[in-house]
């Protein structure tokens, strides 16, 4: 509020000073006859113009005529500006007559002088009102655009957090069941599994506050996840990694790779009695980072059961990269299903 008030008074004072200086230069260069009279009238015109535009602003606020206005209220504003212009011209003419600030050779009445001033100086009030409303409409449009950007940012943040909140607990229950089975059979392996689960949960909690994370950290999460799933599937699950060293520092959406791997096991390996293989690939192709997860299975198994994992990957990439990132799910050779994410570097 203080900032707006400062801007208004700066424009109000600065505008009338600029107008006065421009008229002063024009008067001095165009005609120097009765120059003191012209300068005096110019000063009274500026003073009364300053006061009457303050009065006009007061009534605009009082009668709630600030923009944006409905069509019918524009007539009220027009009437108010006309009335202000008329009062400005009348008061200025009466004051000039009172202090004899006019050319004595020109015999005109106050009414004639008022009409002359209304036609010559009245447009100043209209110009002031035009600038006043133009400023407010620009401010409204700017504020609207900023609010829109803030709203889009909030919606984006909420959508990302909603997606993450679904991803984080997805694997916990199966892992706990697997650990419970190891407690008596292999206590040492159970303790290791608890540590791995703890690491995953800690990483998933940190992901809530991050939009991107280095691939190296996400691979640690995936290795812990696959180690836990190995307890459940045993020899049915085989894992391979093909990771280019240059990609380890590249940023990717947190928990996204784990989601793709989880999806590969849920819709691929778990449906095959003989099990299969999960391969995680990370390479740089031109100016893009390609992150690929391959699993034994058929595309029909996933397409018919397209769940949250695939949808969340689509949504997260759209929110973070727009149309610059691509997610593809296809059936590759050797009975493999391939999920590929292509992210710009």
pLDDT of residue 168: 46
Whether 300 and 331 have beta carbons less than 8 Å apart is answered as no
Q: For the chain, count helices (H), then strands (E).
A: 10, 7
- Rounded to an integer, what is the distance from CA 204 to the centroid of its chain? 26
Into which CATH architecture does domain 168-344 fall? 2-Layer Sandwich (3.30)
Residue 9, number of CB atoms within 10 A of its CB:
10
Three-state DSSP class for 273?
coil
User: Tens digits of per-residue pLDDT, 268-315?
Assistant: 888 888 889 999 999 999 889 999 999 998 887 555 555 556 777 887
Write the burial class of residue 125 (CB in 10 Å: 0-12 exposed, 13-18 middle, 19+ buried).
Answer: buried
3-state secondary structure 323-343: CCCEEEEEEECCCEEEEEEEE
Angle at alpha carbon of residue 297, lines to 293 and 301, rounded to 5°:
100
Q: How far apart are CA 306 and CA 329, in angstroms?
A: 11
pLDDT of residue 339: 93
User: Tens digits of per-residue pLDDT, 121-154?
Assistant: 778 888 888 888 888 778 777 766 766 666 566 5
Whether 280 and 242 have beta carbons less than 8 Å apart is answered as yes
CA distances from 170 to 121, 135, 263, 295 (A): 75, 53, 11, 19
Q: How far apart are CA 200 and CA 192, in angstroms?
A: 13
pLDDT of residue 125: 87
pLDDT of residue 299: 81
Q: How far apart are CA 61 and CA 1, in angstroms?
A: 15
Whether 84 and 52 have beta carbons less than 8 Å apart is answered as yes
Q: How far apart are CA 280 and CA 259, in angstroms?
A: 12
Q: In what order do the strands lie in the sheet with 288-296?
A: 237-243, 276-285, 288-296, 336-344, 326-332
pTM value > 0.75: no
Whether 215 and 248 have beta carbons less than 8 Å apart is answered as yes
Phi, psi of 335 (to 5 degrees): 55, 45
Domain ranges in the chain are: 2-163, 168-344
Task: Label residues 211-250 b or e (16+ Cβ within 10 Å = b).
Answer: eebebebbbebbbbbbbbbbbbbeebbebeeeeeeebeeb
Q: How far apart are CA 112 and CA 110, in angstroms?
A: 5
Task: Label residues 276-287 b or e (16+ Cβ within 10 Å = b).
Answer: bbbbbbbeeeee
Q: How far apart are CA 192 and CA 227, in angstroms?
A: 10
pLDDT of residue 281: 95
The CA-based diameter of the chain, rounded to the nearest angstrom, is 120
For the record, the structure tokens of 177 come out as 């069941």
Three-state DSSP class for 8?
helix
Q: Which residues of the chain register pLDDT less than 70?
A: 1-2, 30-38, 70-71, 100-110, 113-114, 143-144, 146-171, 174, 203-209, 301-309
């Amino acid at each position: 509020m203080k900032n707006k008030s400062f801007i208004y008074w700066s424009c109000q004072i600065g505008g009338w000073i600029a107008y006065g200086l421009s008229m002063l230069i024009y008067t001095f260069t165009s005609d120097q006859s009765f120059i003191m009279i012209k300068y005096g009238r110019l000063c009274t015109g500026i003073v009364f113009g300053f006061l009457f535009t303050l009065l006009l602003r007061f009534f605009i606020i009082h009668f709630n005529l600030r923009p944006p206005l409905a069509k019918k209220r524009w007539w009220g504003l027009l009437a108010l500006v006309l009335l202000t212009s008329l009062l400005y011209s009348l008061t200025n003419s009466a004051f000039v007559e009172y202090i004899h600030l006019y050319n004595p050779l020109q015999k005109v009445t106050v009414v004639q002088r008022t009409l002359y001033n209304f036609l010559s100086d009245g447009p100043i009030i209209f110009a002031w009102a035009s600038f006043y409303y133009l400023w407010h409409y620009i401010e409204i449009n700017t504020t609207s655009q900023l609010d829109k950007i803030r709203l889009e940012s909030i919606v984006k943040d909420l959508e990302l957090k909603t997606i993450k909140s679904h991803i984080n607990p997805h694997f916990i229950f199966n892992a706990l069941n697997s650990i419970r089975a190891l407690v008596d059979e292999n206590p040492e392996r159970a303790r290791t599994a608890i540590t791995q689960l703890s690491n995953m949960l800690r990483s998933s909690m940190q992901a809530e506050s991050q939009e991107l994370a280095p691939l190296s950290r996400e691979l640690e999460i995936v290795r812990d996840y696959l180690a836990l799933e190995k307890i459940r599937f045993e020899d049915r699950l085989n894992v391979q990694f093909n990771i280019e060293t240059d990609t380890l520092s590249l940023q990717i959406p947190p928990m996204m790779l784990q989601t793709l791997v989880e999806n590969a096991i849920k819709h691929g390996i778990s449906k095959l009695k003989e099990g299969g293989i999960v391969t995680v690939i990370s390479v740089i192709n031109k100016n893009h980072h390609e992150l690929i997860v391959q699993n034994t299975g058929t595309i029909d198994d996933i397409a018919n059961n397209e769940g949250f994992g695939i949808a969340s990957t689509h949504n997260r990439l759209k929110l973070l990269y727009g149309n610059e990132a691509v997610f593809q799910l296809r059936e590759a050779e050797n009975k493999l299903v391939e999920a590929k994410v292509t992210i710009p570097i």
